[in-house]
């Protein structure tokens, strides 16, 4: 953020320098030209006088710089001559120029006889009077001032636009980003108490909400894991203690039978029955241990709602289109009619992710196809992969927990994926089942229509 503030400061300084340089340059060039512009008006007036136009007939308003023409005829007193040349009666901000009037052959400009108001008399010419032209640079300066003001306003508008954009970026993008940049690092260290203040920022509002939701979910999972771990340890310790009694009884009866302490077949049968009973108790305890180990898996929350099929397929395609393209596996999605479905779309995405991951893991990598059909107000979505299918004898165990097929000995996995899928679909009032052909394996997910 400090570097960004420096950029704003540098832009401000550059704008100030550019404005000053541009203003001074424009004023200097324009003012230099305007110093001599009044001479153009004087030359025009002289041209009119040389054509016999009377001074009083000249419309002074047509000139940009000359505002008054005064005539002093000779002879005159020294005082009048001095005042005339000293600019008596002329405003402080105005300038003036004095020109002599020579006797000549042309008509008098404002008098009688043969006088001329033109300069350039010969050496023998005599001066008959003087003309004083009062001029002002207001016309040129006004235009120059307007030009400078307009240019400065343009520079100011550009500066304000750039500054507004930079401040908006800092406030709406950089500042929220700096506030949340530390949160993922804190979450990675297990600091789940750090919370970001949510706002309606159009760029990061939803992202901030997602980060806080992630933090809350991680915190809830952590609490639940600690609670489940405590319950598991307590249960295992309790069961381990309880299992010792039937186990010792089995060992006692087994040793008696081995040592042939029972003389009759009836007593041997009774000992075998006791062993069977105690083995049943041990089996029950083992089942409780397994149930305890999978209790957190079964505790899956499903939030049913309504969503369109196209939204579900779009999420699946977004996840696997590029991934399958990289491994040269054809990913085919059949045409479908977009219908409104009922269920938890996020959980349903998990189901299809599990199915497609299994297809990638256990298929031959040639193709994965998603097909659609309808049955009894339900949408049937089938994922079919090419490759060696699971033997029909293993179908009955496919959705059991911790079961893995014969083709999974060299593959990573826990044997819980399809088991979890089954539980999720049951909670959504749906189902999942498997089918196979000679060279394909298919899993069909049944989802309720609205």
Q: What is the mean pLDDT of residues 401-422?
A: 66
Higher pLDDT, 445 or 150: 445
SS3 content of the chain, % helix, strand, coil (to 5): 55, 15, 25
Q: Give the list of residues 6+ apart from residue 97 with CB closer than 8 angstroms, or none.
A: 38, 39, 42, 132, 133, 135
pLDDT for the residue 333: 95
Least confident of 155-169, 337-351, 384-398, 417-431: 384-398
Question: DSSP letters of 357-380?
Answer: HHHHHHS-SSEEEEEEEEETTEEE
Across 84-222, where does the E strand assignment appear? 95-103, 115-116, 127-135
pLDDT for the residue 369: 96
Q: What is the mean pLDDT of residues 81-91?
A: 85
pLDDT for the residue 351: 93
Question: DSSP letters of 202-229?
Answer: TTTHHHHHHHHHHHHHHHHHHHHHHHHH
Whether residue 106 is predicted with pLDDT greater than 50 in this model: the reply is no
pLDDT for the residue 281: 82
Higher pLDDT, 295 or 360: 360
- What are 226-248's pLDDT values in tens digits? 777 777 777 677 777 678 778 88
- CATH 3.20.20.105 assigned to domain 205-298? The reply is no
- What are 19-35's pLDDT values in tens digits? 888 888 876 765 544 55
What the block records as the tokens of 373 is 């059909």
Q: What is the mean pLDDT of residues 202-216?
A: 73
Residues of the chain with pLDDT > 70, as a percent, come to 79
pLDDT for the residue 391: 75
pLDDT for the residue 105: 38
- CATH 3.40.225.10 assigned to domain 305-449? The reply is no
pLDDT for the residue 227: 78
Tell me the domain boundaries of the chain: 36-136, 205-298, 305-449
- What are 321-340's pLDDT values in tens digits? 888 998 899 999 999 999 99
Least confident of 293-302, 309-318, 355-364: 293-302
Whether residue 117 is predicted with pLDDT greater than 50 in this model: the reply is no
Instruction: Give the H or E element holding residue 254.
Output: helix 205-258
Whether residue 113 is predicted with pLDDT greater than 60 in this model: the reply is no
């Amino acid at each position: 953020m400090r570097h960004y503030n420096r950029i704003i400061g540098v832009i401000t300084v550059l704008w100030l320098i550019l404005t000053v340089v541009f203003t001074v340059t424009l004023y200097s060039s324009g003012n230099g030209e305007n110093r001599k512009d009044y001479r153009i008006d004087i030359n025009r007036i002289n041209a009119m006088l040389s054509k016999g136009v009377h001074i009083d007939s000249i419309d002074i308003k047509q000139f940009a710089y000359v505002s008054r023409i005064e005539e002093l005829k000779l002879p005159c007193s020294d005082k009048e001559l001095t005042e005339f040349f000293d600019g008596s009666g002329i405003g402080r901000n105005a300038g003036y120029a004095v020109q002599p009037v020579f006797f000549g052959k042309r008509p008098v400009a404002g008098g009688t006889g043969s006088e001329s108001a033109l300069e350039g008399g010969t050496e023998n010419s005599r001066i008959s009077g003087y003309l004083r032209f009062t001029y002002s640079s207001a016309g040129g300066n006004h235009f120059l001032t307007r030009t400078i003001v307009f240019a400065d306003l343009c520079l100011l508008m550009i500066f304000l636009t750039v500054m507004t954009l930079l401040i908006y970026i800092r406030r709406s993008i950089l500042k929220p980003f700096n506030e949340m940049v530390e949160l993922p690092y804190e979450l990675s260290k297990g600091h789940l108490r750090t919370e970001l203040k949510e706002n309606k920022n159009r760029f990061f509002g939803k992202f901030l909400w997602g980060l806080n939701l992630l933090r809350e979910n991680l915190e809830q999972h952590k609490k639940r894991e600690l609670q489940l771990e405590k319950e598991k340890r307590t249960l295992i310790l309790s069961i381990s203690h309880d299992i010792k009694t039937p186990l010792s009884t089995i060992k006692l009866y087994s040793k008696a039978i081995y040592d042939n302490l029972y003389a009759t077949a009836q007593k041997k049968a009774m000992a075998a029955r006791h062993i069977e009973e105690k083995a049943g108790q041990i089996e029950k305890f083992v089942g409780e241990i397994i149930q305890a180990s999978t209790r957190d898996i079964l505790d899956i929350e499903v939030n049913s709602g309504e969503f369109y099929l196209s939204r579900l397929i779009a999420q699946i395609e977004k996840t696997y289109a590029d991934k399958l393209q990289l491994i040269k596996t054809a990913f085919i999605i059949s045409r479908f009619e977009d219908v409104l479905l009922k269920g938890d779309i996020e959980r349903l995405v998990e189901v299809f992710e599990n199915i497609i991951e299994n297809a990638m893991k256990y298929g031959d990598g040639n193709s994965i196809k998603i097909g659609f059909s309808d049955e009894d107000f339900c949408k049937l979505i089938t994922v079919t992969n090419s490759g060696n299918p699971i033997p029909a004898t293993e179908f009955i165990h496919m959705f059991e927990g911790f079961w893995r097929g014969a083709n999974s000995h060299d593959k990573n996995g826990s044997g819980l994926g399809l088991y979890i899928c089954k539980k999720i679909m049951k909670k959504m009032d749906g189902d999942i089942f498997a089918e196979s052909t000679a060279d394909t394996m298919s899993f069909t997910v049944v989802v309720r229509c609205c």
